[in-house]
Structure 1
Amino acid sequence: MINIKQQVNSLITFKLSTLILITLMLITLQVSAASVSKKILMVVSGYGQEEKSAGYEFDEFSKAYLVFKANGISVDIASPKGGKVTASKYDATAAYNAKTLADKNIMDKLAQTLATSDIDASKYSGIFIVGGKGAMFDLPKDKALKTLIADIYQQQGTVAAVCHGPAALVDVKLNDGSYLVANKAINGFTNTEEQLFGKKWLSKFDFMLEDKLIERGGKFQSSDIMLSHVAIDDRLITGQNPSSTVGVANALVSSLGIKPVLTEQYQDDKTLALVAKLLAGDKSVLNTLSENQQDYHLALVGMYGFYYAKIAENNLQISNALSLMIAAQAEINNPMLDMKIAKAQQQLGNSEKAKTTLAQLLLAKPDYQPAKDMLKTL
């Protein structure tokens, strides 16, 4: 009896184990099939062939591509004219760029992009438009791209764009004659960000991206300069700036019915996420930076504070900018940053601290005239 009972229990255990294994295999196959059946078209500007300093942003391309690759989504690459495209200057040693550069398959596609006029929209579940200054020049004028975007959207596909990428959307109309962005949450590189980081290009642009999206009826939304902000309105997904790239890519993946896999948070994105916490009132960020400097891009923290001080409108914003600059002062060791720190201290009514900052600067650079001039005013 005992042997028979043991045999029955063993048989039941075996059947249950087999059933569980088969179930897991089916789930895995279903997930894999869902991913493999999805194909994304990534669009980049080809303007860099004419003006190399206004190409597409390789950082944004890399971060988005690696998200799609991690989720098993197939990628094709197109540009207005097809063929070779040129990126704006970028850091090839950055982790995400190094991974992409080592990927022969995608680099071969970048070396010979498809022309937008040759694309069959029905083959794609979504489109991702990469930013960069070049996007402001050739993408809005590409009739084939406008048709492609509208067709993908109207076949229930997802349209996503980041930074200057939304420039491709400003003149896209749907079959009913309405603008794609009309009455939808939308964002892109803001007017403030243009004034701070792209001033030399403003006279060459046909329009300011933020203004044009609003003019087309978009419900423009944004966060503080260079911080991640992803606007999602059903199947239209847009990101404000480079730090929004991973968020936009993941949102696109989700819109396709795929749960995004957890991917690496890169040091620059991680750093700006910490900055966002400080600006939201979390002062513990300063301790985190001090105790874990190796995990963050300290120079980026200081430069953020430098530019944030330029647009600060109240004492709280000035104080936050000052905290960020001081956190990276030793790392950057630059007289321009020291001067901005002293000016922020003066604005907050801390003239003695400003004097100390200037005195320390003059110890290192005795002939630095801007510091001497400011010291006379205190």
Structure 2
Amino acid sequence: MKNIVLFAGISLCSSITFADEQRQVLMVLSSYGEVNENQALIKPGFEFGELTKAYYVFKRHGIEVTLASPSGGKPIADNYDKSAPYNKKFLKDEAALSSLANTYKLDEINTNEFDGVFVVGGKGPMFDLHQHEALKKIIANIYEREGVIGAVCHGPAALVDVKLEDGQYLVSGKRVNGFTNGEEKAFGSKWLKDFPFLLQDKLVERGGIFEQDAVMLNQVTIDGRLITGQNPFSTVDTARAMVSALQVELLPEQLYQDDATVKLYELFLTDRQLAIKQLQNEPKNYDLKMLAMISVVQINNATSEFQVSASAALLEHILPQFSHPVIVTTLAKAFVRMGQPEKALESLDYGIKKFPGNKEIKSFIASF
């Protein structure tokens, strides 16, 4: 780690630039994760994909990264997809793997060496990072020295008890986000019962102005030097926002297929023709199965008729290219909700021909 002196009175957000000074970011991981003798996860840890995506955003922009955790050493990750390109790259990167195997202990960190902190999510932070005294001091100190604080998914749990010199909570009066109550309900059932609090509720309780997008869509909230991302698909944009806040010139965006797919769904909500054109012109940039499942998730968790109708329209477009009984039944449910029983029956008729004998489709047909 290289010492960086932040001269008094000079803000990272000032007009002065430091072309010859390399920025330093501390990436924080939970130490809560634990596996049994069969290497099965028995306590949740950090989100590997959030580490790897953010790590390479910082590295690509010439930012030096230091990994740290409450216990130091090698923390345990939640289960993850080793074939994802960002994870595969990290697993072949000897320097990155060495850093992960030898994370610094948080209580040994010299905050004067860092321009920013990025807290990686995963369920683990809900158990250890929110109450780690050294981390709270690190975050408060770097923020009050005009540094940049970023966190994604459950990472903002590390912020909920951080107080500044004036006694106010860091998040008080600031726009923030994190893994939402709706996302917990949809995806967090395994560990949710053990959580000490719900992240969205606690951020609001601490005076945060909570912002959110629909379930598992990309949302990044920037309030000055506090930058928070809603879920794993917000990781890259959260890290890029930090790069910008650190006054490092942003390079052109490089989208991973999963993030691109989420953004294509979001584009479909505002410009269906353009979204379909992009999908047709560059199909390799997107995961059709994932696009279908995003639509299914949105229909199942919709809070507005627009979400239902838009997602149903996208599923109709996808269905001839990628079909599955879950897609068929979800589409039928959407048509029922929209008061279009004839179209629901058309969808189910297609499904029973495509998947003869499927019990879920037959059961839905019988309910009419």
| Partner Cα separation in structure 2 for residue 202 and residue 291 of structure 1 | 41
Matches within 5 A, 1:131-280: 131-280=121-270
- Structure-2 residue corresponding to 1:96: 86
1:263 Cα deviation from its structure 2 partner: 4.1
| Partner Cα separation in structure 2 for residue 211 and residue 158 of structure 1 | 24
- Pair 1:112 & 2:118 matched: no
Q: How far does the alpha carbon of each residue in 1:15-63 deviate from its partner, in whole angstroms, 9 at most, with x for none?
A: xxxxxxxxxxxxxxx87523x2x21100011112254562211111111
Matches within 5 A, 1:291-310: 291-310=281-300
1:377 Cα deviation from its structure 2 partner: 3.7
| Partner Cα separation in structure 1 for residue 272 and residue 354 of structure 2 | 33
| Structure 1 pair 125–314 and aligned structure 2 pair: CA distance change class (3 A) | closer
- Pair 1:47 & 2:37 matched: no
Name which of structure 1's ranges 80-89 and 273-282 shifts more when overlaid on structure 2.
Answer: 273-282
| Structure 1 pair 368–66 and aligned structure 2 pair: CA distance change class (3 A) | same
- Structure-2 residue corresponding to 1:373: 363
2:75 paired residue among 64, 67, 85 = 85
SS at match of 2:150: strand
1:281 Cα deviation from its structure 2 partner: 4.8
SS at match of 2:82: coil
| Partner Cα separation in structure 2 for residue 181 and residue 157 of structure 1 | 15
| Partner Cα separation in structure 2 for residue 100 and residue 200 of structure 1 | 27
1:341 paired residue among 331, 338, 355 = 331
| Partner Cα separation in structure 1 for residue 189 and residue 317 of structure 2 | 27
Q: Which runs of 5+ in 2 are unaligned?
A: 1-16, 36-40
- Structure-1 residue corresponding to 2:58: 68
| Partner Cα separation in structure 2 for residue 111 and residue 305 of structure 1 | 38
Q: How far does the alpha carbon of each residue in 1:146-189 deviate from its partner, in whole angstroms, 9 at most, with x for none?
A: 11111111122111101110000000111111101111111111
1:84 Cα deviation from its structure 2 partner: 1.2
1:291 Cα deviation from its structure 2 partner: 4.4
Are the aligned partners of 1:146 and 1:172 in contact in 2 as well (CA < 8 Å)? yes
| Structure 1 pair 86–329 and aligned structure 2 pair: CA distance change class (3 A) | farther
| Structure 1 pair 268–53 and aligned structure 2 pair: CA distance change class (3 A) | farther
Report the identity percentage: 42
Are the aligned partners of 1:302 and 1:327 in contact in 2 as well (CA < 8 Å)? no
- Structure-2 residue corresponding to 1:11: none
Higher relative CO (CA 8 A, sep ≥ 6), structure 1 or 2? 2
1:307 Cα deviation from its structure 2 partner: 0.9
- Scaled by the length of structure 1, the TM-score of the pair is 0.86
1:69 Cα deviation from its structure 2 partner: 0.6
2:279 paired residue among 267, 289, 308 = 289
Q: How far does the alpha carbon of each residue in 1:293-340 deviate from its partner, in whole angstroms, 9 at most, with x for none?
A: 222111111111111111224432211121233333355532122111
Are the aligned partners of 1:338 and 1:358 in contact in 2 as well (CA < 8 Å)? yes
Are the aligned partners of 1:302 and 1:326 in contact in 2 as well (CA < 8 Å)? no
Return the index of the structure with the highest Cα Rg.
Answer: 1
Q: How far does the alpha carbon of each residue in 1:193-230 deviate from its partner, in whole angstroms, 9 at most, with x for none?
A: 11111123221111110110010001111112222211
SS at match of 1:159: strand
User: Number of paired residues?
Assistant: 347
- Structure-2 residue corresponding to 1:33: 20
Q: How far does the alpha carbon of each residue in 1:271-302 deviate from its partner, in whole angstroms, 9 at most, with x for none?
A: 11111112235443234324432221111111
> For residue 20 of structure 2, what is the amino acid of its counterpart?
A
Are the aligned partners of 2:325 and 2:360 in contact in 1 as well (CA < 8 Å)? no
Moved over 6 A (4+): none
- Scaled by the length of structure 2, the TM-score of the pair is 0.89
- Structure-1 residue corresponding to 2:14: none
Are the aligned partners of 2:126 and 2:154 in contact in 1 as well (CA < 8 Å)? yes
Are the aligned partners of 2:215 and 2:301 in contact in 1 as well (CA < 8 Å)? no
| Partner Cα separation in structure 2 for residue 158 and residue 46 of structure 1 | 23
Are the aligned partners of 1:53 and 1:89 in contact in 2 as well (CA < 8 Å)? no
- Structure-2 residue corresponding to 1:58: 48
| Partner Cα separation in structure 1 for residue 218 and residue 303 of structure 2 | 21
- Structure-2 residue corresponding to 1:15: none
> For residue 32 of structure 2, what is the amino acid of its counterpart?
Y
Name which of structure 1's ranges 365-374 and 42-51 shifts more when overlaid on structure 2.
Answer: 365-374
- Structure-2 residue corresponding to 1:6: none
Name which of structure 1's ranges 125-134 and 344-353 shifts more when overlaid on structure 2.
Answer: 344-353
Are the aligned partners of 1:147 and 1:172 in contact in 2 as well (CA < 8 Å)? yes
